[in-house]
Amino acid sequence: MLLAAAVSSCGDGDDDDDDEEEYPWENPGGGGNEGGNGGGNGGGGSNPEIIRMSPSEVLIPAKGGNVSVSVTAGGPITHAQSGESWVSSSISGGYLLTVSAGPNTGASRGCNVFVDNATGGMGSIVVRQSAGSGGSSDPGTNPDPGTSAPAAPTGLYVSDTGSAGAPNCIIKWNAPQGATSYLIYRSTSESSGYSQIGTSQYASYADQTVKVGNTYYYRVKAKNAKGTSDYSNTCRYEFSDTRKPGPAKITSATCSGSNITVRWSVPTDKTYGKPTSGSIRVADPQNGGTAVEVKSFSASTTSATFNYRPYVASSTGGVNFVVRLTNQHGYSEKAVIYNSKSNEFYY
């Protein structure tokens, strides 16, 4: 089956907030933050497992070097990714993460290294490196977290999206020095309408309230005891729907004279998309059983009647047909057999 695909970018994009008909599969869960601090909208979803590491923040000297971090919960980890190119990482045995950096000749710097495991768990550590000989200790460049509000987060991006059945839009960013928590904002318009959807103590957040077919824009503010930063950069997330329809659920089939009438319902499972059209296709015994379309209908249609006489197999008296539901991503078919000799349907 095809699931939802997502497109994310950190640039300009058109708003896509058209009102659409509500289907049961469009809002499968509520939201919340990845770290369990504060809440997003709703409450029906489950947050991903948090991977915990010790220490959670490491300092690499200006000359460069390696630092190892132990996984204390949520292991084994399977993947690690640095938020900045100056930090590299490696995993040993699933429970030891080593971060490395070369010499630093500039100002002190910091970034996050994100990790995940095979079941969708996530975690991160903060990596900082001391200023080199050419670096600046100017408080305006490297604020003291004890005396000033943090700078705005940078590098905001969407790292994962889950699926149509279990939306899980994971947002990540680079942690500014001195930040102790973050405020997450979302809008369906890039230029206005942002409202806070949750908080996090980590440099990441899981939004489980997104709906398939919509486009969202995210911004984040960093916070500490001295104040709150400006907005981060804006990141765009388009939750495109690439699910094909599910097979029709036949509710009844009857025969009267030369006509068969079949009735069905459209499946509402979260893994299926909306049909946009449909058809009845019958096997033609006079043409080697090739399927012939005898009826087409709109997405809202749930019954169809057609003349079956030309398609009866002379040897068995059987009529083989399918109800096909279609959209731009594919189709599904439900087969029905009619025995004209016994006047019985099988589906």
Mean pLDDT of the 223-250 span: 92
pLDDT tens sequence across 141-168: 444 455 789 999 999 998 767 777 677 7
Query: Residues of 285-299 as b/e, b for ≥16 C-beta within 10 angstroms?
Result: beeeeebeebbebee
Average pLDDT over the chain, rounded to an integer: 81
β-pairing, 167-174 with 109-117? unpaired
Looking at the fold, whether 130 and 86 belong to one and the same domain comes out as: yes
- The burial class, CB within 10 Å (0-12 / 13-18 / 19+), for 24 is exposed
pLDDT at 269: 82
Which of 222, 240, 258 corresponds to the end of one domain? 240
């070097």: which residue's tokens?
65
Query: Who's near 248: CB < 8 A, 6+ residues apart?
Result: 264, 265, 266, 267, 278, 323, 325, 332, 334
Domain count, the chain: 2
Is 80 exceeded by the pLDDT of residue 41? Answer: no
Is 80 exceeded by the pLDDT of residue 6? Answer: no
- Of the two residues 35 and 62, the one the predictor is more confident about is 62
pLDDT at 48: 54
pLDDT at 146: 56
Looking at the fold, whether 175 and 258 belong to one and the same domain comes out as: no
- Prior bond to 76 cis, omega within 30? yes
pLDDT at 58: 85
C-beta of residue 251 within 8 angstroms of C-beta of residue 223:
no
Looking at the fold, whether 266 and 233 belong to one and the same domain comes out as: no
Looking at the fold, whether 76 and 199 belong to one and the same domain comes out as: yes
pLDDT at 38: 38
Backbone angles phi, psi at 180, to 5 degrees: -115, -20
Looking at the fold, whether 184 and 307 belong to one and the same domain comes out as: no
Alpha helix segments (H runs only) across the chain: none
- Prior bond to 267 cis, omega within 30? no
pLDDT tens sequence across 302-342: 999 999 999 999 999 999 999 999 999 899 999 999 999 99
CATH of the domain at 294: 2.60.40.10
- Of the two residues 123 and 254, the one the predictor is more confident about is 254
Mean pLDDT of the 234-260 span: 92
């939306």: which residue's tokens?
167
Which of 184, 215, 240 corresponds to the end of one domain? 240
DSSP state string for 256-301: ETTEEEEEEE----TTS----EEEEEEEEGGGTTEEEEEEEEETT-
* Type of residue numbered 309: R
In the sheet where 249-256 sits, what is the strand order? Answer: 249-256, 259-265, 303-307
pLDDT at 85: 85
Is 60 exceeded by the pLDDT of residue 248? Answer: yes
Q: How far apart are the C-alpha atoms of 326 and 296, rounded to whole Å?
A: 11
pLDDT at 134: 55
Query: Who's near 119: CB < 8 A, 6+ residues apart?
Result: 49
Which of 240, 257, 272 corresponds to the end of one domain? 240
Rg (CA), the chain: 28
pLDDT at 271: 79
pLDDT at 133: 65
**Percentage of residues of the chain with pLDDT beyond 70:** 81
Looking at the fold, whether 257 and 194 belong to one and the same domain comes out as: no
Tokens for 270?
């979260």
Looking at the fold, whether 162 and 235 belong to one and the same domain comes out as: yes
Question: What is the number of other CB atoms lying within 10 angstroms of the CB of residue 33?
Answer: 24
pLDDT at 268: 85
DSSP letter, residue 332: E
pLDDT at 287: 92
Looking at the fold, whether 231 and 256 belong to one and the same domain comes out as: no
pLDDT tens sequence across 194-212: 999 999 988 888 888 888 8
Looking at the fold, whether 201 and 266 belong to one and the same domain comes out as: no
Looking at the fold, whether 211 and 307 belong to one and the same domain comes out as: no
**3-state SS, residue 254:** strand
pLDDT at 27: 35
Looking at the fold, whether 259 and 233 belong to one and the same domain comes out as: no
- Of the two residues 315 and 48, the one the predictor is more confident about is 315
DSSP state string for 133-169: TT----TTTS--TTTSPPPPPEEEEEEEEE-SSSEEE
**Percentage of residues of the chain with pLDDT beyond 90:** 44
**3-state SS, residue 10:** coil
pLDDT at 222: 95
pLDDT at 203: 87
Mean pLDDT of the 12-28 span: 37
Looking at the fold, whether 14 and 124 belong to one and the same domain comes out as: yes
Full residue range of the structural domain in which residue 307 is found:
249-346
C-beta of residue 132 within 8 angstroms of C-beta of residue 114:
no
């604020």: which residue's tokens?
143
In whole angstroms, what separates CA 14 from the centre of its chain? 19
